[in-house]
């Protein structure tokens, strides 16, 4: 008999806050069909995009720095053709060269500002075949609000795992030095009814398409196209900037 799978809380929060997003998948599928593989996904999380593309028959490498997320991605991958790499997007060295490198869900804005992005862009360029393509999703601006100051009360995402109820609700977007902070209230209620509340905050680097294009050009990646992923009720839309190596 196999033991029941109990994901650690970090995996459950990731699944809750990112896992249901679907709006960008048609674009990644279209790019993979157009440019071919192998495909490298940067910051693959638990495999929302990587497993979707692998399921469509593409050879995918999923790079992620959080071991618990990568372990969950491996568990979900089963027999799918997904290579897993535990590495930081700013310092990786792989033997493969890729036809397409994807950076979904504003991960480019989590890399520690211009120096982190530069380090990543250099790595990405080195790992693309000549003529390969880099596609990066970013948000130039986020609407600021704070629920406790009369801003909108956004819906919570919720799920139950191992008898624990998890819910996560965005409570504010505020400006800070160099970008934005997205605040969320994370609550759990365990089987005995005990409730815990934790306030989580994520810094998102400020970044425009023009800034990213200039940074990429400096490392030999030519901007060729911008396309957009529309807003949904739960998730902000993004611009996807596309570069040729
Ligand atoms: C917003 S999530 C996106 C997850 C996945 N790409 C998706 O679209 O569902 C950002 C992911 O990037 C990972 N990440 C952040 N900084 C990273 C870095 N420096 N190197 C590798 N992964 C990173 C996080 O651990 C997280 O899994």
Q: Which domain holds residue 55?
A: 9-140+207-244
| pLDDT confidence band for 234 (50 / 70 / 90) | confident
Mean pLDDT of the 212-230 span = 97
Q: Is 138 in the pocket of ligand 1 (CB under 6 A)?
A: no
What pTM was computed for the model?
Answer: 0.95
Assess whether the C-beta atom of 64 lies below 6 angstroms from ligand 1: yes
Give tens-digit pLDDT for 164-205: 999 999 999 999 989 999 999 999 999 999 999 999 999 999
Is 2 part of a structural domain of the chain?
Answer: no
Q: Is the CB of 89 under 6 A from ligand 1?
A: yes
Task: Return the closest-CA partner of residue 96 out of 74, 55, 124.
Answer: 124
Q: What is the mean pLDDT of residues 95-117?
A: 98
Residue 167 lies in a domain: yes
What's the CATH code of the domain at 161?
2.20.25
Cβ of 111 less than 6 Å from ligand 1: yes
Looking at the structure, tell me whether residues 176 and 239 fall in a common domain.
no
149 Cα–ligand 1 center, Å: 30
Q: Are 17 and 45 in contact (CB under 8 A)?
A: no
pLDDT tens for each residue of 68-98: 999 999 999 999 989 999 999 999 999 999 9
| Residue 153, in any domain of the structure | yes
CB 42, CB 17: distance < 8 Å:
no
Res 1 pLDDT > 70: no
CA 107 vs CA 25, 112, 237: distances in Å: 15, 10, 14
Give 146-175 pLDDT, tens digit per residue.
988 887 778 889 999 999 999 999 999 999
The stretches of 19-149 forming alpha helices (DSSP H) are 25-35, 48-55, 67-77, 113-127
Residues 36 and 151 both lie in one domain: no
Of 109, 129, 126, 106, the C-alpha closest to 117 is: 109
Residue 3 has pLDDT above 60, yes or no: no
pLDDT at 4: 65
Look at ligand 1, atom 13, and give the residue with the nearest C-alpha: 43
Asked whether residue 186 falls in the same domain as residue 150, the answer is: yes
């Amino acid at each position: 008999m196999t033991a029941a799978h109990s994901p650690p809380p970090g995996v459950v929060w990731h699944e809750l806050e990112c896992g249901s997003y679907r709006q960008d998948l048609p674009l990644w599928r279209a790019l993979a069909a157009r440019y071919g593989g192998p495909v490298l996904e940067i910051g693959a999380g638990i495999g929302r995009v990587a497993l979707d593309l692998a399921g469509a028959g593409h050879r995918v490498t999923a790079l992620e720095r959080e071991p618990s997320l990568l372990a969950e991605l491996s568990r979900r991958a089963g027999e799918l053709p997904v290579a897993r790499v535990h590495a930081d997007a700013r310092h990786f060295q792989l033997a493969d060269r890729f036809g397409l490198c994807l950076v979904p869900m504003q991960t480019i804005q989590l890399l520690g500002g211009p120096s982190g992005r530069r380090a990543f862009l250099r790595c990405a360029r080195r790992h693309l075949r000549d003529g390969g393509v880099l596609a990066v999703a970013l948000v130039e601006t986020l609407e600021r609000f704070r629920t406790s100051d009369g801003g909108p009360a956004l819906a919570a995402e919720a799920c139950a795992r191992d008898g624990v109820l998890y819910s996560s609700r965005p409570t504010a977007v505020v400006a800070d030095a160099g970008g934005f902070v997205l605040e969320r209230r994370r609550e759990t209620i365990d089987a005995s009814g005990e409730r815990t509340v934790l306030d989580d905050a994520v810094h998102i680097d400020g970044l425009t398409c023009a800034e990213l294009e200039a940074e990429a050009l400096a490392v030999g990646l030519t901007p060729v196209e911008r396309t957009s992923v529309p807003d949904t009720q739960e998730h902000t839309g993004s611009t996807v900037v596309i570069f040729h190596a």
